[in-house]
Amino acid sequence: MTLTSVGTRSVPTLDVDPFDATSLADPDPMHAVLRDAGPLVYLPRYDVYAMARYAQVHAALVDWQRFRSGAGVGLLNFRFDEPWRKPSVLLETDPPWHDAPRRVLSAILAPHAVRRLREEWLATARRLVDEVLAEDEFDAVTAFAEELPLRVFPAAVGLAPESDWRRLLAYGDHMTNAFGPRNRLVLAGEAEAPANAAWVDDRCARDVLAPDGFGARTFEAAERGEITAEQAPMVVRSLLSAGVDTIVQGLAWTLHLLATHPAQWARLRREPGLARVAFDEAIRWATPVQTFFRTAATDVTVEPGLVVPDGKKILMFLGGANRDPRHWPDADSYDLGRDPSGHVGFGFGIHQCVGQHIARLEAEALLTALVERVETLAPAAEPIRHLNNTLRAWGSLPMRVRRG
Please give the Cα distance from 70 to 296 (Å, whole number): 11
CB 296, CB 48: distance < 8 Å: no
Tell me what pLDDT residue 20 has: 97
- The pTM for the full model equals 0.95
Sign of CA dihedral 323, 326, 328, 329: positive
Sign of CA dihedral 391, 242, 356, 383: negative
Nearest in space to 9 (alpha carbons), one of 312, 315, 316, 317: 312
Spans in the chain with pLDDT lower than 50: 1-8
What are the pLDDT digits (tens) for 293-329?
A: 999 999 999 999 999 999 999 999 999 999 999 999 9
In CATH terms, 2-403 corresponds, of 2.60.40.1180, 2.60.120.260, 1.10.630.10, 1.10.565.10, to: 1.10.630.10
Residue 87 C-beta-side C-alpha neighbours within 13 Å: 21
Tell me what pLDDT residue 8 has: 46
Tell me what pLDDT residue 4 has: 43
Please give the Cα distance from 371 to 365 (Å, whole number): 10
The per-residue pLDDT of the chain, averaged, comes to 94
Residue 227 falls in which region: left (phi positive, over 0), alpha (psi -120 to 50) or beta: beta
Please give the Cα distance from 362 to 298 (Å, whole number): 40
CB 371, CB 360: distance < 8 Å: no
Tell me what pLDDT residue 9 has: 54
Please give the Cα distance from 47 to 194 (Å, whole number): 29
How far the first Cα of the chain sits from its last, in Å, is 53
What are the pLDDT digits (tens) for 127-144?
A: 999 999 999 999 999 999
Residue 367 sits at the vertex; the CA angle it makes with 335 and 152, to the nearest 5 degrees, is: 135
Residues 6+ apart with CB under 8 A from 6: 13, 42, 309
What are the pLDDT digits (tens) for 91-116?
A: 999 999 999 999 999 999 999 989 99
Q: What letter would DSSP give residue 347?
A: B
Buried b (16+ CB within 10 A) or exposed e, 158-178: bbeeeeebeebbbbbbbbbbb
Tell me what pLDDT residue 18 has: 98
